[in-house]
Amino acid sequence: MAVTRVSRSFKDISLSFEPHPVTKDLPILTNRNAIIRSVRNLVETIKTERFFQPNLGSDVRDSLFEIVDYATATVLEDQVKEVILNYEPRVENLDVEVEPSIDDNKFEVTVIFDIIGQDVPTQSFTFILEATR
């Protein structure tokens, strides 16, 4: 018998750690924003960067220093999918699209997903990956 996950709400602390101007509480990311921040952190984390979790993260940074073309975009797409499927249990029906911008030497990554246990439409967000010098 398969176990299904049911969720109600997700809350994460914002990594900016800037307190709310009135309440002085740390800002909280909820639901969609919490998942988006988590996915961005997973993609941008280099393997072996986190103590006691050496496999957490992706090899995306290594691929950014290669030629910006469709072959590299396919590799990036696979790496992003793999890290999200392995470490983000709050999403399902995942799809990742990577478009290279050859002239600007960057990749535009679009992540499309459903949130497990919430009756909301399919979510998507886009971010840019580029080599930092």
Total Cβ atoms within 10 A of residue 50: 12
**R_g of the chain, CA atoms, integer Å:** 16
Three-class SS state of 44 = helix
CA dist., res. 39 & res. 37, Å (int): 6
Q: What is the pLDDT of residue 59?
A: 86
Helix 70-87 and helix 31-44: axis angle, to 10°?
A: 120
Mean pLDDT, residues 11-37: 79
Per-residue pLDDT band at 86 (split at 50, 70, 90): very high
Q: What is the pLDDT of residue 133?
A: 61
User: Between the CA atoms of 112, 34, 15 and 22, what dihedral angle is there, to the nearest 10 degrees?
Assistant: 130
Q: What is the pLDDT of residue 99?
A: 94
Ordered by start, the domain boundaries in the chain are 25-130
pTM: 0.79
CB 70, CB 47: distance < 8 Å: no
pLDDT at 2 over 70: no
Per-residue pLDDT band at 97 (split at 50, 70, 90): very high
SS3 string, 45-110, reads CECCCCCCCCCCCECHHHHCCCCCCHHHHHHHHHHHHHHHHHHCCCEEEEEEEEEEECCCCEEEEE
pLDDT digits (tens, 9 = 90+) for 31-84: 788 888 888 888 888 888 888 988 888 888 888 887 888 998 999 999 999 999
Q: Which CATH class is domain 25-130?
A: alpha beta
